[in-house]
Structure 1
Amino acid sequence: MAHRPPTITQPAIARALREAKKQGAKVVEIKPTGELLIHINKTITPSTTRNNTYSIEDFPPLENERVLIMPKRRPPYLVRERTRHGKIIWYVRIGHGPRVRIEGVYGTQEFVDSYMLALKHAQNGTSKKTKQTRLVEGSFDWLLHQYLQSMQWHNQSESTKKVKYRILNNISKHIGNRAYKSIEKQHILDAVERRRNSPAAARHFLTALNGLFNWAVDNALLNRNPAFNIKPPKSFNAEGFTPWLEEDIDKYYHHWSVGTHERVWIDVLLYTGLRRGDAVRIGWKDVKDNIIHLKTEKSQFKTDVFLPILPELAETLKIGPIGDETFICGKEGKKLTKESFGNLFRKACNASGIKKSAHGLRKLAATRAANAGATVSQMKALFGWTEDNMASLYTKSADRKRLAIESIKKLQKGSG
């Protein structure tokens, strides 16, 4: 079994730092493996350490304390490379853009500061040859820097962090040097007003800011959250993504016959009702007794979903083509990321003359279930929702349709 790098719990770090401080520790360093090293200037116990370097394991956990073992997440766009001389170097690279070298030892404050600056230069498309500037304590840049190192930030899903970081970094480009305590509610209201023609953008903007400022309040860096209770503009389309119609399915099926990748893609989405981030992960490895079992990405892999494989999907999977690991795969049988799959599926839809998204298919699946009489509880179990509101939206719509069909008959002469 491959050895997995340890993740250090917050209590363990605090305990190690306290012990090391008593012994005169000067430098704390986190290695790429996730190991915490504490360097000191004199020889101390325990004797198991060498070269005055102490691992977190040298300070055993307290009674009943559990140390979790799991991979450590790497910050976005951070790339590790070994030179031909065997030296490890780090740099930031966004897409196919230029590489911006990071100075300092991985995990040190110098490294973190260099990473933040490199990231900003990479996103601005500029070279890192400009003189490095230190973060000014009390500035928005400084607050954002602290937030991005917090446990609250790292506990969020990668997709959530990606969206929030893009928004917060864009704000930083405009007001990074400004004192964050000078930001008032009216400033945020004005920013939301500028986004009135894009309600979704305004909503994401407020979500990102509330996360930052709520964290600042919780950590005594702010007395109040200036974004608190600010409402985003009402959406023009309250129903969100445009749902597919049954006619769209017929049109897609006519263009993509059984035995094509594109047919597998749509049937996996339609007959599971999964979001694309979950749909690209499932395969026969997740099936037992003809039931698919997975934990959803949206819930940070905490919510279980159980999905029987319906006969229509079973027939499609039998014919294929499917991948070795996952049902959904590319032309060479390799599994796809949700982003690459989204692009490929959009092209398949366009080729069929359909201008709709994968999420719209999930809406059709939910509509089918509701029209078939599924209850709120059944809808929640099927689609992985934790609240009633989304399931109720579909069941109420289905109920209105049934009531309308029954009521229209009463308009006939002699009825009732």
Structure 2
Amino acid sequence: MDDMVRKLPRYVTVTKTKYKKVLFYFRVDKGPRTRLPDDPSSDEFKEAYRACLIGEPVKTKKIVGVPTTIRWLIERYMESAAWRNDLSDATRRQRSNILKHVVSDSGDVPFAMVQAKHIRNRMEKMSDTPAQANNYLKTMIGLFSWAVKNDHVKVNPTIDVARLKAKSKGFPEWTQEDGEAFRARWPVGTAQRLAFELLLHSGLRRGDIVTLGRQHLKGNILSITTQKTGTTITVELPDAVLSIIAATKTGDLHFLVTSFGKPFSIPGFGNWFHAASVKAGVHKNAHGIRKLAATTAANDGATSSELMAQFGWTTSQQADVYTKGADRVRLGISASRRIARRLEAQDADEKALGDVENSQKESKGR
């Protein structure tokens, strides 16, 4: 390895992934990095290096997977109807990136040899980031579930693999005080204020909020099919929110647009809204408002079914998190009131008994 590094041409750097794979890049000073082929002695590497030197795009030779390899299985999966139709755009982007790493690290491994222990081992290496490890598992579940259904493998190696326990509860939830601070910083008429009110009253994810427009609104009833789960949610917007929409400059088909009048991309909206939140002294992101909306509804007595309908959840598991939390709050307050009433009653009984005893003593003294 040391000899190889010493012999590398100028501007070529070498890195090793956490899975021990050696990667080569072309980079001049602090400019962009360009991935080079894996074998520095190959003609393909030399041609790619020459292209980088003169500023031409690097032509990479497409590797076609052998029909028994992970690479081939992933290629077929990403061509399937299950990949195109069953997953949202955001999920496909996320899983495509994960599968790229799988191919890079293990593309030539026969997929029939993959066992649960191999997936567990990879997740163990990702244990410092349990959310990423669990996303990897979800991706492999999707891949091998499709493979079983289409007779590529007989056994799904992901069946007995458990998710890692997350070290946090995910995105931090906004509080009522956070909302008041945001409203104080961004008055009615600003796009930031409109974004906050729409997020709070609709409970939509950022992937849906960027597509929201007048075409989804009839009177004060808002209805939209969500990108992630494909479920249709219907909510009623209060007059106050309709007034904010009317007072804000919007696009033709999008309530929220950039300063250039263009629709936001999902990452662009996230960055823009986070910056607005920081200016209001709230160091949290848009998803935390969705949590606040769910908590507010649950505390006001919303059932799991009602929360599922508003927030587009397809199972009650997520809704139960909020309803059970709200029930615990109500039950806790109710129990504390019982304790207080009981203690007050005991104090009253003791005082009454003391008054009787004092009265009897006074009678005897007379």
Fold match by TM threshold 0.5: yes
| Distance (whole Å) between structure 2 residues aligned to residue 129 and residue 326 of structure 1 | 39
2:43 corresponds to: none
Structure possessing the higher radius of gyration over alpha carbons: 2
- Aligned residue for 2:288, secondary structure, equals helix
TM-score by length of 2: 0.75
| CA separation of 1:415 and 1:384: change in aligned 2, threshold 3 A | farther
2:66 corresponds to: 136
1:272 corresponds to: 202
What's the offset of the Cα at 1:317?
Answer: 1.2
Q: 1:401 aligns with which of 313, 325, 329?
A: 329
| CA separation of 1:377 and 1:266: change in aligned 2, threshold 3 A | same
What's the offset of the Cα at 1:349?
Answer: 1.1
- Residue 180 in 1 paired to residue 111 in 2? yes
- Residue 385 in 1 paired to residue 323 in 2? no
- Residue 196 in 1 paired to residue 124 in 2? no
| Distance (whole Å) between structure 1 residues aligned to residue 64 and residue 190 of structure 2 | 55
- Aligned residue for 2:319, secondary structure, equals helix
What's the offset of the Cα at 1:131?
Answer: 5.1
What's the offset of the Cα at 1:347?
Answer: 1.0
The amino acid that maps onto 1:362 is R
- Residue 291 in 1 paired to residue 221 in 2? yes
Listed one character per residue, the Cα deviations across residues 105-149 of structure 1 (whole Å, up to 9, x for unaligned) are xxxxxxxxxxxxxxxxxxxxx964455544323122112112221
| Distance (whole Å) between structure 2 residues aligned to residue 356 and residue 378 of structure 1 | 26
What's the offset of the Cα at 1:219?
Answer: 1.9
Percent identity, aligned pairs only, is 35
1:84 corresponds to: none
Which range moved further: 291-300 or 162-171?
A: 291-300
1:16 corresponds to: none
Q: 1:342 aligns with which of 270, 280, 287?
A: 270
User: How many residues are aligned here?
Assistant: 294
Q: Is the 8 A contact 2:205 2:287 kept in 1?
A: yes
Q: Is the 8 A contact 1:264 1:322 kept in 2?
A: no
What's the offset of the Cα at 1:355?
Answer: 1.5
Which range moved further: 281-290 or 269-278?
A: 281-290
- Residue 411 in 1 paired to residue 339 in 2? yes
- Residue 171 in 1 paired to residue 102 in 2? yes
- Aligned residue for 2:344, secondary structure, equals coil
Q: 2:82 aligns with which of 133, 136, 152?
A: 152
2:253 corresponds to: 325
Structure 1 runs of 4+ with >6 Å offset: none
- Greater relative CO, 1 or 2 (CA 8 Å, sep 6+): 2
- Aligned residue for 2:159, secondary structure, equals coil
What's the offset of the Cα at 1:312?
Answer: 2.6
| Distance (whole Å) between structure 1 residues aligned to residue 278 and residue 157 of structure 2 | 44
| CA separation of 1:221 and 1:127: change in aligned 2, threshold 3 A | farther
- Segments of 5+ residues of structure 2 without an aligned counterpart are 1-31, 35-55, 347-366
Q: Is the 8 A contact 1:369 1:379 kept in 2?
A: yes
1:367 corresponds to: 295
What's the offset of the Cα at 1:208?
Answer: 0.8
What's the offset of the Cα at 1:415?
Answer: 4.1
The amino acid that maps onto 2:252 is D
Q: Is the 8 A contact 1:324 1:333 kept in 2?
A: no
Q: Higher helix share goes to which structure? A: 2
| Distance (whole Å) between structure 1 residues aligned to residue 334 and residue 61 of structure 2 | 74
- Segments of 5+ residues of structure 1 without an aligned counterpart are 1-95, 99-125
Listed one character per residue, the Cα deviations across residues 332-374 of structure 1 (whole Å, up to 9, x for unaligned) are 3322122211111011112222111111100101111111121
- Residue 247 in 1 paired to residue 177 in 2? yes
